[in-house]
Structure 1
Amino acid sequence: MTTTFSAIPFAGAPFPRSEYERRQKKVLEAMERANLDALLVTAHGHLRYLTGYDGLGGYFMPFPLILAPGRSPTYVVREYEVNGVRAESCIDEILGYVQQPDFAKVCADVLRRYGLGNRRVGLELGCWNLAPADVSALQAQLPNVKFADATRLVPSVSVVKNELEIEVMRDAMAMTDLAVRTFLGALRDGVTEVEVAAAIHGEVRKAGGDDARLVSLGFGERNKLPHGKPTRHPLRNDEPAMIEIGGTKHAYCAGLVRSAVLGRHPETESLYSLAEGALEAALAAIKPGATADEVDAAGRKVIERSGRPEVFRHRTGYQIGINWGERGNLSLEPGAADVLQPGMTLHLPFILFSESGYLFGCSENVLVTKTGVEILSRTPHTLHRV
């Protein structure tokens, strides 16, 4: 059967081809510094960053993008998805395979054809979408290749945004702020989580925004659930409410955590005061040249000085942008040596645990500037009281 591809309507990749070529060039430069002769990109967020395609067709099989100096980027995908990849990406060289076992053979054939059958090839071993069995299959096909862990390579490029990306982040944050304002304005005795979630999505769509990513929404006792999904549970007087949500544009997310209390709730109010102080200390530590662990330590010290170190059970933050939550990205945590640079966008969620199990706190989504830090949100991170 012949498919007339030109007749299929599609929007194409969200950015100009030149933008993806710029990104690919930066990755090739990073590969040279890492002494890699080729790179297989498999993480969905990294694929979208480099090609425009969302990578979701690869939920069942790997979709490696093969990058090598002097060669056109080559996308190896399921045959079923070829037209979708061609429609939504900027990649011209697309090879399809039909069954799972064929993936390694097709990749190996490409690498051998490029003269890389005995060279050093990077794999994203610490990311999603590459299983141990996939690595074993590649090694069996290419016994003379030296595979290296390149988990941090694409993130080292994507963490620094250019003006085009920063503008997209600002647009995404405008939708986040709208979502948060809707959340805060909807709080009243008896309103349910699903009613508030529906109001948020309705307002964002009415404003012409992409669907917001709702990471967590909980009222009262359900604030004890990490990443709780909205239910028909109602908010009552003298209970807390918290949301973590990110507006999106072209898959770039601008996450934000905001909290409120309907009436009074001393336990979570005390927790919030500590989270707010830690967040402000971390923000004050952000500047070009600071290391990721220095920012983490600044916020962590506030919590340790309170005498309640057990309330903080995660890292201070992480890089954010395309595909919120990709493994392998820059992380603000103890021992992290990454140096902050202008153009980085970071999310700093200080969500603390009370002694009885409540989760409560706040965050900011920020841009590292030449002189320090710019908070992208226009919604204050003070506790909202109803």
Structure 2
Amino acid sequence: MAKASSAIPFAGIPFPRSEYEHRQKRVLEAMARADLDALLVTAHGHLRYLTGYDGLGGYFMPFPLILVPRQAPTYVVREYEVNGVRAESCIDEVVGYIQQQDFAKVCADVLRRYGLENGRVGFELGCWNLAPADVGALQAQLPNLKVVDATRLVTSVSVVKSELEIKIMREAMAMTDLAMRTFQGALRDGVTEAEVAASIHYEIRNAGGDDVRMVSLGFGERNKLPHGKPTRHPLRTNEPAMIEVGGTKHGYAAGLVRSAVLGRHPEAESLHALSEEALEAAIAAIKPGVTAGEVDAAGRKVIERSRRPEVFRHRTGYQIGLNWGERGNLSLEPGAVDILQSGMTLHMPFILFSESGYLFGCSENVLVTERGAEILSQTPHTLYRA
């Protein structure tokens, strides 16, 4: 682990400082193309991407990272979190404020210091962690400030992974595959969701991995709940089971959906077969130069041909990596015009709804390469029969 300028044990940044400086440079280049004088980064995932700090100290106050050409990046944070930001980020210029009502004045003072009273400044208006009241308070301090929606700017850079990030994604996927093997090996009559979840966490810790993100785990009738959390509900013979889980490494997640049937369950089996076909069609459409909407359309056509269009009620997939996902990131959805590039990592969950309400399906986490899509998982997405 690369160390920040801190003597605090185990504090530091996960990657070399040069990695973050390279990311910041690319964001500054994107700002120049957007004709921005400055950018306020407030989304937690984007803050972590650019600084190493997870941003979680900003759970009820904004924590903007201010990027200005030819100036050192400046982090405006709660005074309570200043030591943590200094120790766990690559940012040297940290400015603190104490109460929420102090934020606008302190942040405005920083912008004035850089001569931005009349500047054209980008804000992540479509992301989490920035409230309209925060923007309004800043505008009250700087009435001539030109607020520009820059929701997609950091995404346009972070969507293409570096070789170091791809290595980390592969390590995270190795833990996801271990979680899936544990899930499949634990299925038997009477085992509970909580027992399976505990086994997964134990195996990951035993292997020295970071903890996993358990997005969903459901048995039987509880497969009708989206994002259901593990309970003491048991699996019975001739029932379906589905899990969505992601191994993590330095905050990078490699999510995956896998399904199983203990015995036989014709309704779930039919749904899974359609999910597999749609997923494979979408994966086959992936290559640099195609649009996100074209990939979505390839999978959606399979669903439409099945004459069961009502089973598919969401998008085909999304950009994945740091923080699993961030509002405003690239999305594989109808009409999306984002162009796929080599180095992107995408999660593609085809979770379908049966007529009686079951949610069932599979996904893949893929790397876009010059030759097409590389599937990162070693666990087949075919239905597992226990």
TM-score bracket relative to the smaller structure: over 0.9
Match of 2:293 in 1: 293
Match of 1:24 in 2: 24
Give % identity: 84
Match of 1:84 in 2: 84
Match of 2:317 in 1: 317
Q: CA deviation at 1:138?
A: 1.0
What CA distance in whole angstroms lies between the structure 1 residues aligned with 2:20 and 2:6? 22
The answer on 1:106 being equivalent to 2:106 is: yes
Q: CA deviation at 1:325?
A: 2.2
What CA distance in whole angstroms lies between the structure 1 residues aligned with 2:357 and 2:141? 50
Matched letter for residue 207 of structure 2: A
What CA distance in whole angstroms lies between the structure 2 residues aligned with 1:11 and 1:169? 22
Q: Is the 8 A contact 2:225 2:359 kept in 1?
A: yes
SS in 2 for 1:310: helix
Q: Is the 8 A contact 2:6 2:87 kept in 1?
A: no
What CA distance in whole angstroms lies between the structure 2 residues aligned with 1:262 and 1:133? 52
Q: Is the 8 A contact 1:10 1:87 kept in 2?
A: no
What CA distance in whole angstroms lies between the structure 2 residues aligned with 1:105 and 1:32? 27
Q: Is the 8 A contact 1:40 1:124 kept in 2?
A: yes
Q: Is the 8 A contact 2:276 2:382 kept in 1?
A: yes
- CA deviations on 1:94-123 (whole Å, 9 max, x unpaired) are 000000011111111111110111010000
Match of 1:138 in 2: 138
Q: CA deviation at 1:7?
A: 4.6
Match of 2:120 in 1: 120
Q: Is the 8 A contact 2:76 2:97 kept in 1?
A: yes
Q: CA deviation at 1:68?
A: 0.7
Match of 2:190 in 1: 190
Match of 1:355 in 2: 355
What CA distance in whole angstroms lies between the structure 1 residues aligned with 2:132 and 2:169? 34
Match of 1:241 in 2: 241
Match of 1:174 in 2: 174
What CA distance in whole angstroms lies between the structure 1 residues aligned with 2:312 and 2:104? 43
Match of 1:12 in 2: 12
What CA distance in whole angstroms lies between the structure 2 residues aligned with 1:96 and 1:179? 41
Matched letter for residue 148 of structure 1: V
SS in 1 for 2:147: strand
Match of 1:344 in 2: 344
SS in 2 for 1:101: helix
Match of 2:262 in 1: 262
What CA distance in whole angstroms lies between the structure 2 residues aligned with 1:10 and 1:149? 37
Report which stretch shifted further, 133-142 or 227-236.
133-142
Q: CA deviation at 1:6?
A: 5.2
Match of 2:42 in 1: 42
**For this pair of structures, how many residues does the alignment match?**
382
Match of 1:271 in 2: 271
SS in 1 for 2:294: helix
Q: Is the 8 A contact 2:210 2:248 kept in 1?
A: yes
The answer on 1:207 being equivalent to 2:207 is: yes
Q: Structure 1 residues 77, 217: CA separation in 2 closer, same or farther (over 3 Å shift)? A: same
- CA deviations on 1:319-377 (whole Å, 9 max, x unpaired) are 00001121010000011100000000000000000011100000000000011110000
Match of 1:302 in 2: 302
TM-score normalised per structure 1: 0.98
What CA distance in whole angstroms lies between the structure 2 residues aligned with 1:165 and 1:14? 11
Match of 1:69 in 2: 69
Matched letter for residue 200 of structure 1: I
What CA distance in whole angstroms lies between the structure 1 residues aligned with 2:121 and 2:338? 23
Match of 2:379 in 1: 379
Report which stretch shifted further, 47-56 or 7-16.
7-16
SS in 2 for 1:278: helix
Q: CA deviation at 1:60?
A: 1.3
Q: CA deviation at 1:16?
A: 0.5
What CA distance in whole angstroms lies between the structure 2 residues aligned with 1:373 and 1:280? 11
Which aligned pairs between 1:43-58 and structure 2 lie closer than 5 A?
43-58=43-58
What CA distance in whole angstroms lies between the structure 1 residues aligned with 2:290 and 2:168? 25
TM-score normalised per structure 2: 0.98
SS in 2 for 1:164: helix
- CA deviations on 1:116-172 (whole Å, 9 max, x unpaired) are 110100000110100111111111111101101111000110000011000000000
Matched letter for residue 216 of structure 1: S
What CA distance in whole angstroms lies between the structure 1 residues aligned with 2:125 and 2:186? 44
What CA distance in whole angstroms lies between the structure 2 residues aligned with 1:184 and 1:117? 59
Q: CA deviation at 1:11?
A: 3.0
What CA distance in whole angstroms lies between the structure 2 residues aligned with 1:293 and 1:244? 24
Matched letter for residue 272 of structure 2: Y
What CA distance in whole angstroms lies between the structure 2 residues aligned with 1:193 and 1:342? 38
Q: Is the 8 A contact 1:320 1:347 kept in 2?
A: yes
Unmatched 5+ stretches in structure 1:
none
Matched letter for residue 182 of structure 2: T
SS in 2 for 1:185: helix
Matched letter for residue 110 of structure 2: V
Q: Structure 1 residues 254, 7: CA separation in 2 closer, same or farther (over 3 Å shift)? A: closer
